[in-house]
Homo-oligomer: A and B are copies of this chain.
Amino acid sequence: MNKSIKVLAPASVANLVCGFDVLGMSLADPADEMIMSLTDTPGIKIIHEDEYNLPEEAEKNVAGAALLAMMKELDPQTGFFLRVKKTIKPGSGLGSSAASAAGAVAGANALLGNKFSQDDLVRFAMSGEKLASGVKHADNIAPCLMGGITLIRSIMPLDIVKVSFPELYVTVVHPQIEVKTSDAREILRKQVLLKDAIKQWGNIAGLVAGFMQKDYSLIGRSLEDVIIEPVRSILIPGFNEVKEKCKNAGALGGGISGSGPSVFMLSVEEKTANRVSEVMREVYSCLGIDFKIYVTKIDEKGVKIEVFQHQ
């Protein structure tokens, strides 16, 4: 009889418009599910019970890569078994790979009696993210693990700050086209104008102050990105239209979720968030692009773990 656990790893929105590579927010919905247990056989065995045809070899699997990073600091006899049912579609811009990586290491850590610190888990999970995007970053991993809104002040050394926030509703549309994080990164310019960078740090400072002061208007005014969005939005059909119409419908603001193609909008009230979802539906129906919409809230807890016994 081995202890099994059920892991729920939430989707997340990285960047939050003006906080490229440093801000992230955890979502109450959707979330990936994993059933995990320790095994007597050393190594990592992964089975996917979803529709995404992801590789199951540990080295090629995001959850596996994250666990392999953890294994380097464990007894080589340790073995993990994972049944993964992903709901967050890979390439959606909703932190799908972060959920795989963070869920796996948080689950493993629970099975091992919480041997590792939160920072260790972020470190391991970043190895999984590297497999997916080619870059070690934590702006999805941190909110997925810790919940809420997180700031990665620095990656090296790792410095994660939790940012308090008021009640907010999040509407997300995922147009069913694929944008690879690695492609979305390659089209960015390596240099930016100082005057644009100044606007951006005014906005990120305003956004953090707005969240902490619970100042909805300031949050809305600060949701502006003069550097990344003008480049990346080209990859997302209907972006400018959907953004403008959602704001007209009462959303505080929003933009590309992570590297896209999902687009998120923040609203103060649920009814506004629902109205925003109608606008998104209209725009993508007219464009003839399949889409999926979530109306949700900010998740406050991060990865959730349930323990149960099974044969």
Contact = CB atoms under 8 A, between A and B. Distances in A.
A37 interface: no
A188 to B, nearest CB: 6
Contact of A202 (B154, B188, B213, B222): B154
A121 B52 CA distance: 59
Interface string A124-160: 0000000000000000000000000001111000010
Interface residues of A, number: 40
Interface string A201-212: 111111111001
A161 B193 contact: no
Contact of A192 (B20, B152, B159, B197): B197
A29 interface: no
Contacts of A221: 153-154, 159
A1 to B, nearest CB: 46
9 contacts: A153-B203, A153-B206, A153-B221, A192-B193, A194-B227, A197-B197, A197-B227, A204-B205, A212-B213
A218 B213 CA distance: 18
B205 A23 contact: yes
Contacts of A192: 191-194, 197
A18 B154 CA distance: 13
B22 A209 contact: no
Contacts of A205: 19, 22-23, 151, 153, 161, 204-205, 207-208
B22 A201 contact: yes
Interface in A223-268: 227
Interface string A82-111: 000000000000000000000000000000
A179 B200 CA distance: 27
Given A151-B205, A205-B208, 12 more contacts: A22-B198, A151-B202, A151-B209, A153-B203, A161-B209, A190-B195, A192-B197, A200-B201, A201-B201, A201-B204, A204-B205, A208-B212
Interface in A1-35: 18-23
A213 B193 CA distance: 31
A189 interface: yes
A152 B203 CA distance: 9
B151 A198 contact: no
A199 interface: yes
Contacts of A283: none
A163 interface: yes
B20 A206 contact: no
Contact of A193 (B20, B151, B190, B208): B190
B206 A209 contact: no
Contacts of A212: 208-209, 212-213
Contacts of A18: 201
